[in-house]
């Protein structure tokens, strides 16, 4: 393994899937993805081993927003592996991973119940915090003529008279790896929830992810 050309393991369980890919020098060396509404906790670590053999220099994990349980599974795995291997783990959001590297873009992700996570980017850099919103609010507040990317992008682009759109529903593992490589000294990854959970709280508290 080389620090100048690190092997980066990127993974995501923020939606109804389990996905992982190994990158080096901008090339994807291995990839696996399985659609699943449940079972990510049992499947993730075997998948990471299959893809990488755990011979990696950097962990790049999608921290959300998205499915609460899935986010916690991925973040906990990243922290545990980072500690065991003595390597950095870097968190990247779904919206960051979808943002184009150049130009102005309104990036959207599914927040369920007809809601959207929205964030504006310029040249890949966030211009504001993530907002929990809906199509009507975006049509009133978002800048027109920006490229629209992500969940329901075609519909929102039409409402904004935007010049272009790119419909994408899940985090981009290649972008997660690329962004993480620029942040080797970032703080430990932490879940990015944005919205409160829809379900009632369990009678027993969940395991605490330390800061």
**Both 74 and 177 in a single domain?**
yes
Position 197 confidence tier, pLDDT thresholds 50, 70, 90: low
- Residue range(s) defining the domain that contains residue 78: 7-94+171-181
Residue 201 lies in a domain: no
What's the Cα-to-Cα distance from 66 to each of 101, 121, 129, 174, 185, rounded to whole Å? 22, 19, 16, 19, 25
Same domain, 132 and 67: no
Residues 14 and 77 in one domain: yes
Question: Among all chains, which residue has been given the structure tokens 């008279």?
Answer: 161
Place of tokens 């921290």: 63
pTM for the full predicted model: 0.90
Phi, psi of 125 (to 5 degrees): -105, 130
| DSSP state for residue 1 in the 8-state scheme | -
Closest C-alpha to 14, from 96, 101, 123: 96
> Do 13 and 84 reside in the same domain of the chain?
yes
Kindly provide the residue ranges of all beta strands, DSSP E only, lying in the chain, ordered along the sequence. Answer: 7-12, 17-24, 27-35, 58-62, 89-92, 104-112, 115-122, 125-126, 131-133, 147-150, 165-166
Per-residue pLDDT tens for 139-179?
A: 887 767 789 999 999 999 999 889 899 999 999 999 999 99
**Whether 125 and 143 share a structural domain:** yes
- Do 58 and 152 fall within a single domain? no
Identify whether 195 is preceded by a cis peptide bond (ω within 30 of 0): no
73 and 22 inside one domain = yes
In a domain, 86, yes or no: yes
Q: Does some domain include residue 45? A: yes
Integer angstrom CA distances of residue 111 from 36, 118, 130: 18, 9, 11
195 lies in some domain: no
Give the CB-side neighbour count of residue 30, counting CA atoms within 13 A: 17
Name the domain count of the chain.
2
pLDDT in the model for residue 172: 97
Domain containing residue 86: CATH number: 3.30.420.40
Residue 193, in any domain of the structure: no
What is the predicted pLDDT for the residue at 57? 97
User: Is 55 among the domain residues?
Assistant: yes
Reading the block at residue 3, the tokens are 């620090």
CA 72 remoteness from chain centre:
12
Q: How confident is the model at residue 204 (pLDDT cuts 50, 70, 90)?
A: very low
Is 209 a member of any domain?
A: no
32 with 125, same domain: the answer is no
First-last CA distance in the chain:
29
Span 96-116, pLDDT tens digits: 999 999 999 999 999 999 999
User: Tokens 């272009």, residue?
Assistant: 164
Do 88 and 117 fall into the same domain?
no
- Please tell me whether residues 25 and 85 are part of one structural domain: yes
**Which two structure tokens, joined as six digits, stand for 22?**
């190994």
Bridge partners for 7 per DSSP: 24
pLDDT at 210: 54
Ramachandran assignment for 206, one of left (phi > 0), alpha (psi -120 to 50 degrees), beta (any other): beta
Query: CB neighbours of 158 closer than 8 A, spacing ≥ 6?
Result: none
88 and 22 within one domain: yes
> pLDDT class for 19, splitting at 50, 70, 90?
very high
């Amino acid at each position: 393994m080389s620090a100048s050309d690190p092997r980066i393991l990127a993974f995501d369980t923020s939606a109804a899937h389990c996905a992982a890919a190994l990158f080096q020098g901008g090339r994807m060396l291995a990839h696996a993805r399985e659609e699943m509404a449940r079972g990510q906790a049992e499947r993730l670590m075997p998948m990471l081993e299959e893809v990488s053999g755990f011979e990696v220099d950097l962990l790049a994990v999608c921290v959300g927003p998205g499915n609460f349980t899935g986010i916690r599974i991925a973040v906990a795995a990243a922290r545990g592996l980072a500690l065991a291997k003595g390597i950095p783990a870097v968190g990247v959001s779904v919206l960051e991973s979808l943002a184009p590297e150049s130009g102005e873009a309104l990036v959207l992700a599914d927040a369920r119940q007809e809601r959207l996570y929205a964030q504006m980017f310029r040249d890949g850099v966030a211009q504001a915090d993530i907002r929990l919103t809906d199509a009507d609010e975006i049509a009133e507040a978002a800048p027109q003529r920006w490229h629209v990317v992500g969940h329901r992008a075609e519909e929102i682009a039409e409402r904004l008279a935007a010049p272009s759109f790119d419909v994408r529903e899940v985090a981009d593992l290649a972008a997660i790896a690329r962004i993480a490589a620029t942040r080797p000294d970032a703080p430990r990854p932490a879940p990015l929830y944005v919205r409160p959970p829809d379900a009632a709280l369990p009678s027993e508290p969940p395991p605490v992810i330390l800061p």
